[in-house]
Amino acid sequence: MTKAPQPDERPHQRTTDTDVLVVGAGITGVYQLYRAREMGFSAQLVEAGGGVGGTWYWNRYPGARFDSESYTYAYLFSKDLFDEWEWQEHFAEQPETERYLNHVVDRFDLRRHIRFDTRVTSATFDDSSGTWAVGTEDGSQLRARFLVAATGVLSVPYFPDVPGREDFRGESYHTGLWPGTPVDFADKRVAVIGTGSSGVQIVPVIADEVASLTVYQRSANWCTPLNNAPITPKEQQELRAGFEDMCEVLNTSIAGFLHPVGDRAAFDDSETERRAFFERMWNSPGFSKLSSNYTDLLFNEAANAEWCEFIAQKIRGIVKDPGVAEMLIPKDHRFGEKRPPFVTGYYETFNKPNVSLVDLKQTPIIRVTETGIETDDGEWPFDVVVWATGFDFGTGALTRMGIRGRHGLALEEYWSDGPRTFLGVQTTGFPNFFFPGGPHAAAGNNPRYNGDQVDFITDAITYVRDHGYDTIEVDAAAEDKWTAMVDRGAADAPFGESSYFFGTNIPGKPRKYLLNSGGRPKLFKEIDKVIESDYKSFRLARSSDRGHGRQR
């Protein structure tokens, strides 16, 4: 291995505006900016939005909040930061998270390295210098050695192609593109289309304010209570005292949660015990209904069916109109087949006299008109239409950024049959380009997994710099192997093909599993192998304009 060069031998500063250019000021991008600067790189971040937050900047709809525990979603790299920020609730609302991320940026003096209102529209790899030329919507160009797209998996909102959508003359919003100024719902006739995690969060929060609320549901979801609560002063103290232990669990657990993992299969218990256990699950916080539930819940049909029947009974107990209750009970998928939403007062909302539910499978939307929505049973006037219709998951942002790798290879073409990656961080033909938190990441508490990827990327580019190389590019064989592992995982995944984790919510998108079902253990194992083998899965090279063109 080549000896680390002295600083004056390093070409990076001569040819670029910055060593590392990060795209996206969400929780992952901000961490990447922090880590790159910590390791002595020059680093800048460009962000399409006007502020910090990413998901927590764009999804400002009423009711948007975590469904991972606030302190488990937050950064863990600084105990001082952890100590000084007191999360108000176990599951924080969007404004608090946006404030937190702004605090982090200022606390670590990162704001001066961020350019807001700057959308990347092209990024072209220059083989001779081993750098990226990045173009932005406002016409500016930046040259960087390393390009890190922390652009998020759920960042390109999806609007279904409903005829007349553009004709509507009232107010129209997507939950994932919510305006910065509050929307006034008072006394308005409001339609919400979509009942995924976003739709079921906004519905109960606006119901009391509006004149009428019509919820358009295509598929019912298995919603269970979030069971949020304020964090008491005693709990605040315990969180601080238990920081190290908490990090240990979060940094090693499969899905990045604190919830203890279940230790019994469903039919190890008697029917009475099962009923009591399900009751405890129903009353438990957030994702513990998945992590701490019966070990065979997602893989044993009979166990899953019992849990679903338990939830169905809960819905029938809450919703007074039996017809509406039946519409709210999923009939087309089992629990966990889609990413389950967690709710606060969602089912109760349908008992309010001004709230109605439309089953789009019975009564499809024909078109949007200038004044409302026309379905099979007539035209209904609205003042506001909210599209809670989801996102182009995983690849949406990356394939729209005009990324061109070696020999002009377009990322969207290279991935036209689905993404190909190694560790969900790099793809062959695109040297020095990384995408933490992109496709082939694992399901779970996103910042934990994405943070692992950022740490890996930071180690990798530090290795490249310190060993006198200019470029790092994953070998095709390593990419093939990881991609095949992801494809194979689709067969064993708890998620079904109706889940957006297969890209099936976007018309024309290839049906490919987009998650690493090996989760963090698989990621850690592969990262260890990479480090132990001195980055053998990657081609490390010096760029040809340094006169060497040498590679390993």
Angle between helices 446-466 and 27-38 (to 10 degrees): 30
453 in contact with ligand NAP (CB under 6 A): no
Rounded to the nearest whole angstrom, what is the least distance from the CB of residue 540 to ligand NAP in the complex?
Answer: 36
Closest among 264, 286, 287 to 277, alpha carbons compared = 264
- What is the DSSP secondary structure assignment for residue 260, as one 8-state letter? P
Token digits of residue 422: 């190694």
Among 389, 432, 453, 516, binds ligand NAP (CB under 6 A): 389
> Which of helix, strand or coil describes residue 235?
helix
| Of the candidate residues 5, 135, 160, 345, the single one contacting ligand NAP (CB under 6 A) | 160
Give the nearest distance from C-beta 354 to ligand NAP in angstroms.
21
Give the type of residue at 472.
I
Residue 513: CB minimum distance to ligand NAP, A: 16
Q: How many residues belong to the site for ligand NAP (CB under 6 A)?
A: 23
> How near is the Cβ of 77 to ligand NAP at its closest, in Å?
22
Segment interacting with ligand NAP, rule: CB under 6 A, options 190-198, 404-412, 468-476, 535-543: 190-198
Instruction: Please identify which residue in 103, 143, 165, 218 interacts with ligand NAP, judged by CB under 6 A.
Output: 218
Helix pair angle (243-252, 233-241), 10° resolution: 70
Task: Retrieve residue 281's tokens.
Answer: 């699950």
Q: Select from 51, 196, 225, 419 the one that contacts ligand NAP (CB under 6 A).
A: 196
For residues 552 and 432, the answer to whether their CB atoms sit within 8 Å is no
Across the strands, what pairs with 135? 122, 141
Does the footprint of ligand NAP cover residue 380 (CB under 6 A)? no
Q: Which of residues 65-84 bind ligand NAP (CB under 6 A)?
A: 66-67
The contacts of residue 365 (CB under 8 Å, 6+ apart) are 162, 193, 216, 373, 374, 375
Residue type, 176: G
> How far apart are the C-alpha atoms of 112 and 104, rounded to whole Å?
13
CB of 68 to ligand NAP, least distance (A): 7
Residue 365 CA to residue 360 CA, distance in Å, equals: 7
Binding ligand NAP by CB under 6 A: which of 339, 367, 406, 546? Answer: 339
Question: Any contact of residue 194 with ligand NAP (CB under 6 A)?
Answer: yes
274: nearest Cα among 310, 317, 301: 310
- The reply on whether position 546 binds ligand NAP by CB under 6 A is no
Report the SS3 class of residue 205: helix
Segment interacting with ligand NAP (CB under 6 A) among 194-202, 448-456, 529-537, 540-548 = 194-202
Give the binding range for ligand NAP (CB under 6 A) out of 103-111, 191-199, 238-246, 525-533.
191-199
Which residue's beta carbon is nearest to the bound ligand NAP? 196
The residue within the footprint of ligand NAP, chosen from 195, 291, 426, 453 (CB under 6 A), is 195
Q: Pattern of binders to ligand NAP over 484-523, x per CB under 6 A?
A: ----------------x----x------------------
Comparison of 163 and 323: residue with beta carbon closer to ligand NAP: 163
User: Which one of 265, 318, 360, 485 is in contact with ligand NAP (CB under 6 A)?
Assistant: 360
Name the phi and psi angles at 226, rounded to 5.
-70, -35
Q: Is residue 288 part of the contact set for ligand NAP (CB under 6 A)?
A: no
User: CA distances (Å), 310 to each of 280, 314, 318, in order?
Assistant: 12, 6, 13
d(CA 28, CA 447): 7
Residue 215 sits in the site that holds ligand NAP (CB under 6 A): no
End-to-end CA distance of the chain: 9
DSSP H helices, 395-536, are 411-414, 446-466, 476-492, 519-532
Smaller CB distance to ligand NAP: residue 41 or 513? 513
- Of 97-105, 113-121, 198-206, 314-322, which part binds ligand NAP (CB under 6 A)? 198-206
DSSP 67: S
Least CB distance to ligand NAP at residue 482 (A): 23
322, 328, 330, 332: CA torsion to nearest 10: 100
Three-class SS of residue 58?
helix
Nearest CA-CA partner of 123 in 46, 200, 62? 46
Cβ proximity to ligand NAP: between 62 and 194 the closer is: 194
Q: Supply the minimum distance, in Å, between the C-beta of residue 67 and ligand NAP.
A: 4
Q: Where are the alpha helices (DSSP H) in 110-178?
A: none
Rounded to the nearest whole angstrom, what is the least distance from the CB of residue 393 to ligand NAP in the complex?
Answer: 8
Tell me the residue type at 205: V
Residue 421 in the binding site for ligand NAP (CB under 6 A): no
Q: Taking CB under 6 A as the rule, does residue 154 contact ligand NAP?
A: yes
Stretch that binds ligand NAP, among 100-108, 270-278, 389-397, 468-476 (CB under 6 A): 389-397
Applying CB under 6 A, the residues found at the interface with ligand NAP are 66-67, 154, 160, 175, 193-199, 201, 218-219, 339, 360, 388-391, 500, 505
